[in-house]
Protein backbone atom coordinates (compact mmCIF):
# COMPACT_ATOMS: atom_id res chain seq x y z
CA UNK A 1 0.00 0.00 0.00
CA UNK A 2 1.31 3.44 -1.00
CA UNK A 3 0.99 6.12 1.65
CA UNK A 4 0.58 9.82 1.00
CA UNK A 5 1.69 12.73 3.21
CA UNK A 6 1.12 16.48 3.07
CA UNK A 7 3.86 18.99 3.94
CA UNK A 8 2.93 22.67 4.41
CA UNK A 9 6.02 24.87 4.55
CA UNK A 10 6.44 28.54 5.43
CA UNK A 11 8.11 30.74 2.83
CA UNK A 12 9.36 33.45 5.20
CA UNK A 13 12.99 32.89 4.21
CA UNK A 14 14.46 29.68 2.82
CA UNK A 15 15.10 28.16 6.23
CA UNK A 16 11.78 26.39 6.68
CA UNK A 17 12.20 24.66 3.33
CA UNK A 18 15.83 23.65 3.86
CA UNK A 19 15.24 22.18 7.32
CA UNK A 20 12.12 20.28 6.22
CA UNK A 21 13.86 18.87 3.13
CA UNK A 22 15.62 16.03 5.04
CA UNK A 23 12.26 14.86 6.45
CA UNK A 24 10.64 14.93 3.01
CA UNK A 25 13.56 13.01 1.51
CA UNK A 26 13.32 10.42 4.27
CA UNK A 27 9.65 9.74 3.53
CA UNK A 28 10.32 9.66 -0.22
CA UNK A 29 12.88 6.93 0.50
CA UNK A 30 10.04 5.02 2.18
CA UNK A 31 8.00 5.29 -1.07
CA UNK A 32 5.59 7.88 0.20
CA UNK A 33 3.85 10.16 -2.28
CA UNK A 34 4.32 13.71 -1.07
CA UNK A 35 2.17 16.82 -1.56
CA UNK A 36 3.82 20.14 -0.71
CA UNK A 37 2.09 23.47 -0.11
CA UNK A 38 4.54 26.35 -0.41
CA UNK A 39 5.15 29.63 -2.24
CA UNK A 40 7.77 31.87 -3.85
CA UNK A 41 11.50 31.39 -3.38
CA UNK A 42 11.07 28.44 -1.01
CA UNK A 43 8.80 26.68 -3.50
CA UNK A 44 11.39 27.18 -6.27
CA UNK A 45 14.09 25.79 -3.99
CA UNK A 46 12.08 22.63 -3.22
CA UNK A 47 11.22 22.11 -6.88
CA UNK A 48 14.93 22.22 -7.69
CA UNK A 49 16.00 19.90 -4.88
CA UNK A 50 13.16 17.39 -5.45
CA UNK A 51 13.17 17.34 -9.24
CA UNK A 52 12.08 13.94 -10.53
CA UNK A 53 10.66 12.74 -7.20
CA UNK A 54 7.07 11.63 -6.47
CA UNK A 55 6.03 15.10 -5.36
CA UNK A 56 3.12 17.41 -6.23
CA UNK A 57 3.38 21.12 -5.49
CA UNK A 58 0.59 23.52 -4.57
CA UNK A 59 1.06 27.28 -4.42
CA UNK A 60 -0.61 29.17 -1.59
CA UNK A 61 0.15 32.75 -0.66
CA UNK A 62 1.98 32.93 2.67
CA UNK A 63 1.79 35.33 5.60
CA UNK A 64 3.27 38.81 5.13
CA UNK A 65 6.81 39.20 6.48
CA UNK A 66 6.06 40.74 9.87
CA UNK A 67 8.57 43.37 11.08
CA UNK A 68 9.50 44.39 7.53
CA UNK A 69 8.68 48.05 8.16
CA UNK A 70 10.66 50.81 9.86
CA UNK A 71 10.18 54.35 11.15
CA UNK A 72 6.71 55.75 11.81
CA UNK A 73 5.03 53.10 9.68
CA UNK A 74 6.41 50.18 11.72
CA UNK A 75 3.71 49.74 14.36
CA UNK A 76 0.55 50.44 12.29
CA UNK A 77 1.85 48.19 9.50
CA UNK A 78 2.82 45.51 12.04
CA UNK A 79 -0.79 45.42 13.28
CA UNK A 80 -2.03 45.31 9.67
CA UNK A 81 0.30 42.38 8.89
CA UNK A 82 -0.86 40.46 11.98
CA UNK A 83 -4.49 40.82 10.89
CA UNK A 84 -3.57 39.69 7.36
CA UNK A 85 -1.79 36.66 8.86
CA UNK A 86 -4.92 35.69 10.79
CA UNK A 87 -7.02 35.88 7.60
CA UNK A 88 -4.53 33.71 5.72
CA UNK A 89 -4.54 31.09 8.48
CA UNK A 90 -8.31 30.79 7.94
CA UNK A 91 -7.63 30.49 4.20
CA UNK A 92 -5.17 27.66 4.93
CA UNK A 93 -7.89 25.79 6.79
CA UNK A 94 -10.22 26.06 3.80
CA UNK A 95 -7.44 24.94 1.44
CA UNK A 96 -6.65 21.94 3.65
CA UNK A 97 -10.32 20.93 3.83
CA UNK A 98 -10.39 20.84 0.02
CA UNK A 99 -7.19 18.76 -0.15
CA UNK A 100 -8.47 16.29 2.43
CA UNK A 101 -11.66 15.72 0.42
CA UNK A 102 -9.53 14.70 -2.56
CA UNK A 103 -6.73 12.82 -0.77
CA UNK A 104 -6.34 10.28 2.03
CA UNK A 105 -3.25 11.56 3.84
CA UNK A 106 -1.37 9.35 6.27
CA UNK A 107 -0.24 12.46 8.11
CA UNK A 108 0.12 16.25 7.75
CA UNK A 109 3.40 17.95 8.61
CA UNK A 110 3.52 21.73 8.97
CA UNK A 111 6.60 23.92 9.32
CA UNK A 112 5.41 27.35 10.37
CA UNK A 113 1.97 27.08 8.70
CA UNK A 114 -0.52 27.36 11.53
CA UNK A 115 -3.70 26.67 9.58
CA UNK A 116 -2.71 23.15 8.53
CA UNK A 117 -4.25 21.23 11.41
CA UNK A 118 -6.94 18.61 11.10
CA UNK A 119 -9.42 16.63 13.16
CA UNK A 120 -9.44 13.93 10.48
CA UNK A 121 -5.68 13.33 10.01
CA UNK A 122 -2.76 13.22 12.49
CA UNK A 123 -1.05 16.61 12.14
CA UNK A 124 2.36 17.71 13.33
CA UNK A 125 3.95 21.12 13.77
CA UNK A 126 7.67 21.83 13.48
CA UNK A 127 8.65 25.06 15.22
CA UNK A 128 11.49 26.45 17.30
CA UNK A 129 9.54 29.58 18.16
CA UNK A 130 6.85 28.75 20.69
CA UNK A 131 7.17 32.07 22.47
CA UNK A 132 7.48 35.00 20.07
CA UNK A 133 9.96 37.77 20.83
CA UNK A 134 7.80 40.87 20.38
CA UNK A 135 8.85 44.54 20.07
CA UNK A 136 9.48 46.29 23.38
CA UNK A 137 6.55 48.67 22.97
CA UNK A 138 4.22 45.63 22.99
CA UNK A 139 5.90 43.79 25.91
CA UNK A 140 2.83 44.28 28.09
CA UNK A 141 1.01 42.06 25.58
CA UNK A 142 3.41 39.11 25.94
CA UNK A 143 0.99 37.12 28.10
CA UNK A 144 -1.76 37.55 25.48
CA UNK A 145 0.58 36.56 22.63
CA UNK A 146 1.71 33.47 24.55
CA UNK A 147 -1.91 32.49 25.21
CA UNK A 148 -2.77 32.82 21.52
CA UNK A 149 0.31 30.76 20.60
CA UNK A 150 -0.58 28.01 23.05
CA UNK A 151 -4.13 27.89 21.71
CA UNK A 152 -2.87 27.68 18.09
CA UNK A 153 -0.37 24.95 18.90
CA UNK A 154 -2.98 22.90 20.78
CA UNK A 155 -4.71 22.11 17.47
CA UNK A 156 -1.81 19.85 16.47
CA UNK A 157 -1.35 16.22 17.42
CA UNK A 158 2.27 16.78 18.43
CA UNK A 159 4.91 19.52 18.24
CA UNK A 160 8.50 18.85 17.18
CA UNK A 161 10.99 21.41 18.48
CA UNK A 162 14.34 21.54 16.63
CA UNK A 163 16.40 22.40 19.69
CA UNK A 164 17.77 20.75 22.83
CA UNK A 165 15.88 20.28 26.09
CA UNK A 166 18.91 21.15 28.25
CA UNK A 167 18.12 24.52 29.93
CA UNK A 168 21.77 25.59 29.66
CA UNK A 169 23.01 24.06 26.42
CA UNK A 170 20.43 24.93 23.80
CA UNK A 171 20.21 27.22 20.76
CA UNK A 172 16.86 29.01 21.13
CA UNK A 173 16.76 30.07 24.77
CA UNK A 174 13.33 31.28 25.88
CA UNK A 175 11.87 31.07 22.36
CA UNK A 176 11.70 27.26 22.57
CA UNK A 177 11.48 26.86 26.35
CA UNK A 178 8.42 28.76 27.61
CA UNK A 179 7.14 27.85 31.06
CA UNK A 180 3.80 26.63 29.70
CA UNK A 181 5.37 24.13 27.26
CA UNK A 182 4.57 21.13 29.51
CA UNK A 183 0.86 21.66 28.71
CA UNK A 184 1.42 20.66 25.07
CA UNK A 185 2.46 17.29 23.58
CA UNK A 186 5.98 17.92 22.31
CA UNK A 187 9.45 16.53 21.67
CA UNK A 188 12.83 18.25 21.57
CA UNK A 189 14.55 16.63 18.60
CA UNK A 190 17.86 18.49 18.28
CA UNK A 191 18.92 20.20 15.09
CA UNK A 192 17.57 19.68 11.55
CA UNK A 193 19.79 20.62 8.63
CA UNK A 194 19.88 19.85 4.92
CA UNK A 195 23.61 19.19 5.47
CA UNK A 196 22.71 16.24 7.70
CA UNK A 197 21.18 14.01 5.02
CA UNK A 198 23.08 10.86 3.94
CA UNK A 199 23.68 12.43 0.50
CA UNK A 200 25.09 15.61 2.00
CA UNK A 201 27.23 13.80 4.56
CA UNK A 202 28.69 11.64 1.80
CA UNK A 203 29.68 14.76 -0.17
CA UNK A 204 31.11 16.46 2.93
CA UNK A 205 33.34 13.45 3.60
CA UNK A 206 34.57 13.58 0.00
CA UNK A 207 35.22 17.32 0.15
CA UNK A 208 38.71 18.65 -0.26
CA UNK A 209 40.39 20.75 2.42
CA UNK A 210 38.91 24.11 3.41
CA UNK A 211 39.86 26.24 0.41
CA UNK A 212 37.39 29.11 0.93
CA UNK A 213 38.52 31.55 3.61
CA UNK A 214 35.16 33.35 3.93
CA UNK A 215 31.76 32.18 2.68
CA UNK A 216 29.03 34.83 2.66
CA UNK A 217 25.55 33.30 2.55
CA UNK A 218 22.86 35.97 2.63
CA UNK A 219 19.28 34.77 2.37
CA UNK A 220 16.10 36.11 3.93
CA UNK A 221 12.82 37.58 2.78
CA UNK A 222 13.50 41.31 3.25
CA UNK A 223 15.03 42.20 -0.12
CA UNK A 224 15.15 45.93 0.63
CA UNK A 225 17.59 45.21 3.48
CA UNK A 226 19.45 42.42 1.71
CA UNK A 227 20.58 44.19 -1.45
CA UNK A 228 22.30 47.16 0.21
CA UNK A 229 23.71 44.88 2.92
CA UNK A 230 25.29 42.53 0.36
CA UNK A 231 26.97 45.45 -1.41
CA UNK A 232 28.40 46.66 1.91
CA UNK A 233 29.80 43.19 2.64
CA UNK A 234 31.31 42.89 -0.84
CA UNK A 235 33.09 46.23 -0.37
CA UNK A 236 34.35 45.31 3.11
CA UNK A 237 35.44 41.81 2.05
CA UNK A 238 37.97 43.37 -0.34
CA UNK A 239 40.05 44.20 2.74
CA UNK A 240 40.22 40.55 3.85
CA UNK A 241 43.01 38.25 2.72
CA UNK A 242 42.20 34.96 1.03
CA UNK A 243 39.37 33.62 -1.11
CA UNK A 244 35.86 35.03 -0.62
CA UNK A 245 32.67 33.46 -1.98
CA UNK A 246 29.17 35.01 -1.94
CA UNK A 247 25.91 33.05 -2.44
CA UNK A 248 22.91 35.34 -2.93
CA UNK A 249 20.16 32.67 -2.79
CA UNK A 250 18.08 34.33 -5.49
CA UNK A 251 16.21 31.65 -7.46
CA UNK A 252 15.54 34.25 -10.19
CA UNK A 253 19.31 34.55 -10.79
CA UNK A 254 20.31 30.88 -10.82
CA UNK A 255 22.85 31.39 -13.62
CA UNK A 256 24.39 34.60 -12.28
CA UNK A 257 28.15 34.42 -11.70
CA UNK A 258 30.80 37.09 -11.24
CA UNK A 259 34.49 36.85 -10.43
CA UNK A 260 36.68 39.70 -9.21
CA UNK A 261 40.29 38.50 -9.71
CA UNK A 262 41.82 41.58 -8.11
CA UNK A 263 40.17 40.85 -4.73
CA UNK A 264 39.67 37.07 -5.18
CA UNK A 265 35.85 37.30 -4.85
CA UNK A 266 33.36 34.90 -6.45
CA UNK A 267 29.62 35.70 -6.49
CA UNK A 268 26.95 33.07 -7.26
CA UNK A 269 23.31 34.01 -7.73
CA UNK A 270 22.20 30.61 -6.48
CA UNK A 271 23.61 27.18 -5.70
CA UNK A 272 21.81 23.91 -5.04
CA UNK A 273 22.53 20.25 -4.44
CA UNK A 274 26.10 19.05 -4.56
CA UNK A 275 27.58 22.44 -5.50
CA UNK A 276 26.03 24.07 -2.45
CA UNK A 277 27.32 21.30 -0.17
CA UNK A 278 30.85 21.57 -1.61
CA UNK A 279 31.01 25.32 -0.97
CA UNK A 280 29.88 25.04 2.65
CA UNK A 281 32.19 22.10 3.34
CA UNK A 282 35.15 24.05 1.92
CA UNK A 283 34.51 27.18 4.02
CA UNK A 284 36.75 28.10 6.95
CA UNK A 285 34.42 30.88 8.18
CA UNK A 286 30.78 31.65 7.31
CA UNK A 287 29.16 35.09 7.37
CA UNK A 288 25.35 35.06 7.35
CA UNK A 289 22.10 36.38 8.74
CA UNK A 290 21.00 35.04 12.13
CA UNK A 291 18.11 32.93 10.91
CA UNK A 292 17.56 29.83 13.02
CA UNK A 293 17.92 27.30 10.21
CA UNK A 294 21.25 28.89 9.26
CA UNK A 295 22.33 28.48 12.88
CA UNK A 296 21.40 24.78 12.79
CA UNK A 297 23.37 24.38 9.54
CA UNK A 298 26.42 25.92 11.23
CA UNK A 299 26.13 23.55 14.19
CA UNK A 300 25.72 20.54 11.87
CA UNK A 301 28.84 21.57 9.94
CA UNK A 302 30.82 22.71 12.98
CA UNK A 303 31.74 26.03 11.32
CA UNK A 304 32.65 29.31 13.08
CA UNK A 305 30.46 32.19 11.94
CA UNK A 306 29.67 35.88 12.11
CA UNK A 307 25.92 36.51 12.42
CA UNK A 308 24.21 39.70 11.24
CA UNK A 309 20.57 39.78 12.44
CA UNK A 310 18.10 41.23 9.97
CA UNK A 311 17.08 44.76 11.07
CA UNK A 312 13.76 44.90 12.98
CA UNK A 313 13.55 41.08 13.03
CA UNK A 314 13.13 40.50 16.75
CA UNK A 315 13.70 36.74 16.57
CA UNK A 316 17.06 37.14 14.82
CA UNK A 317 18.07 39.98 17.13
CA UNK A 318 17.33 37.76 20.13
CA UNK A 319 19.15 34.72 18.70
CA UNK A 320 22.24 36.76 17.80
CA UNK A 321 22.34 38.22 21.32
CA UNK A 322 21.69 34.87 23.02
CA UNK A 323 24.27 32.90 21.05
CA UNK A 324 26.74 35.78 21.02
CA UNK A 325 26.69 35.93 24.82
CA UNK A 326 27.41 32.20 24.91
CA UNK A 327 30.31 32.84 22.49
CA UNK A 328 29.04 30.21 20.08
CA UNK A 329 29.06 32.78 17.25
CA UNK A 330 30.17 36.36 16.71
CA UNK A 331 27.22 38.77 16.85
CA UNK A 332 27.52 41.68 14.41
CA UNK A 333 25.72 44.87 13.50
CA UNK A 334 25.63 46.25 10.00
CA UNK A 335 27.58 49.30 11.17
CA UNK A 336 30.48 47.09 12.35
CA UNK A 337 33.64 46.72 10.29
CA UNK A 338 34.04 43.17 9.04
CA UNK A 339 37.80 43.13 9.47
CA UNK A 340 37.38 43.89 13.21
CA UNK A 341 34.79 41.14 13.64
CA UNK A 342 37.07 38.55 12.05
CA UNK A 343 39.66 39.21 14.77
CA UNK A 344 37.20 38.01 17.45
CA UNK A 345 36.60 34.55 15.92
CA UNK A 346 39.35 32.93 18.02
CA UNK A 347 37.33 33.55 21.21
CA UNK A 348 34.43 31.29 20.20
CA UNK A 349 33.43 28.16 22.14
CA UNK A 350 32.35 24.75 20.80
CA UNK A 351 28.69 23.82 21.23
CA UNK A 352 28.57 20.80 23.60
CA UNK A 353 25.55 18.94 22.15
CA UNK A 354 26.49 16.32 19.57
CA UNK A 355 23.16 14.90 18.33
CA UNK A 356 22.60 15.89 14.73
CA UNK A 357 20.04 15.66 11.91
CA UNK A 358 20.09 11.87 11.51
CA UNK A 359 18.98 11.40 15.13
CA UNK A 360 16.28 14.09 14.75
CA UNK A 361 14.74 12.36 11.73
CA UNK A 362 14.80 9.02 13.54
CA UNK A 363 13.01 10.57 16.52
CA UNK A 364 10.36 12.14 14.26
CA UNK A 365 9.79 8.84 12.46
CA UNK A 366 9.53 6.86 15.71
CA UNK A 367 7.08 9.35 17.20
CA UNK A 368 4.85 9.36 14.12
CA UNK A 369 4.84 5.61 13.62
CA UNK A 370 4.81 4.22 17.13
CA UNK A 371 2.83 6.76 19.11
CA UNK A 372 0.21 8.05 16.69
CA UNK A 373 0.03 6.58 13.21
CA UNK A 374 0.00 2.96 14.32
CA UNK A 375 -3.57 3.49 15.51
CA UNK A 376 -4.75 5.04 12.24
Assess whether pLDDT exceeds 70 at residue 224. no
Length of the chain: 376
What are 239-255's pLDDT values in tens digits? 999 999 999 988 778 88
Distance, CA of 257 to CA of 174 (rounded, Å): 41
Domains located in the chain, CATH noted? 4-190+356-375 (3.40.50.2000), 196-347 (3.40.50.2000)
Q: What is the dihedral of CA 117, 54, 364, 111, to 10 degrees?
A: -40
Q: What is the pLDDT of residue 179?
A: 85
> Could you tell me how far CA 91 lies from the centroid of its own chain?
23
Q: What is the pLDDT of residue 375?
A: 47
**Residue 281: Cβ within 10 Å count:** 22
Assess whether pLDDT exceeds 60 at residue 70. no
What are 84-136's pLDDT values in tens digits? 888 989 999 999 999 999 999 999 999 999 999 999 999 999 999 988 766 66
Q: What is the pLDDT of residue 1?
A: 66
Rounded mean pLDDT, 152-179:
93
b (16+ CB within 10 A) / e for 149-167: bbeebeebbbbbbbbbbee
Which residues contact residue 97 at a Cβ distance below 8 angstroms, ignoring those fewer than 6 apart? none
Assess whether pLDDT exceeds 60 at residue 352. yes
Bridge partner list, 291 = none
Assess whether pLDDT exceeds 50 at residue 338. yes
The SS3 assignment for 275 reads helix
Q: What is the pLDDT of residue 205?
A: 86
Q: Which of 8-12, 75-79, 208-212 is predicted with the least confidence, judged by mean pLDDT?
A: 75-79
Q: Mean pLDDT of all residues in the chain?
A: 88
Cβ 277 vs Cβ 256: under 8 Å: no
Query: What does the DSSP 8-state code read for residue 204?
Result: H
Rounded mean pLDDT, 268-281:
91
Q: What is the pLDDT of residue 135?
A: 60
Which residues contact residue 71 at a Cβ distance below 8 angstroms, ignoring those fewer than 6 apart? none
Distance, CA of 92 to CA of 37 (rounded, Å): 10
Q: ∠ CA(171), CA(269), CA(212), 5° rounding?
A: 60
How far lies 273's CA from each of 26, 160, 321, 342, in Å?
A: 16, 26, 31, 29
How many CA atoms does the CB half-sphere of 304 hold within 13 Å? 17
Distance, CA of 163 to CA of 154 (rounded, Å): 19
Strands 330-331 and 257-260: unpaired
Assess whether pLDDT exceeds 60 at residue 7. yes
Q: Which of 285, 284, 280 is nearest to 307 (CA)?
A: 285
pTM for this model (two decimals): 0.90
Rounded mean pLDDT, 19-39:
96
What are 300-331's pLDDT values in tens digits? 999 999 999 988 788 899 999 999 999 999 99
Rounded mean pLDDT, 53-61:
95
What are 182-197's pLDDT values in tens digits? 889 999 999 999 999 8
Assess whether pLDDT exceeds 80 at residue 217. yes
Q: What is the pLDDT of residue 134?
A: 65
Amino acid sequence: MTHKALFAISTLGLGHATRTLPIIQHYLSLNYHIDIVCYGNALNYLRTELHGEKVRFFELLDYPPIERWSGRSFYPMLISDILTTMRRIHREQAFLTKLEKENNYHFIFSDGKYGFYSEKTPCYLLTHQLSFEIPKIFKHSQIIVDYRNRKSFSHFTHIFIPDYKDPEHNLCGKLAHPRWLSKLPHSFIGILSSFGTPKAQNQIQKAESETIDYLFTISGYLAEHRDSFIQTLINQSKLLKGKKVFILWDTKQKDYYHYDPEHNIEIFGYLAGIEKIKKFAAAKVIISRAGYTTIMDLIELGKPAILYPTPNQTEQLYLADYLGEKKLFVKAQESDHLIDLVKTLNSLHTFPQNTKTAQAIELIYNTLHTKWLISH
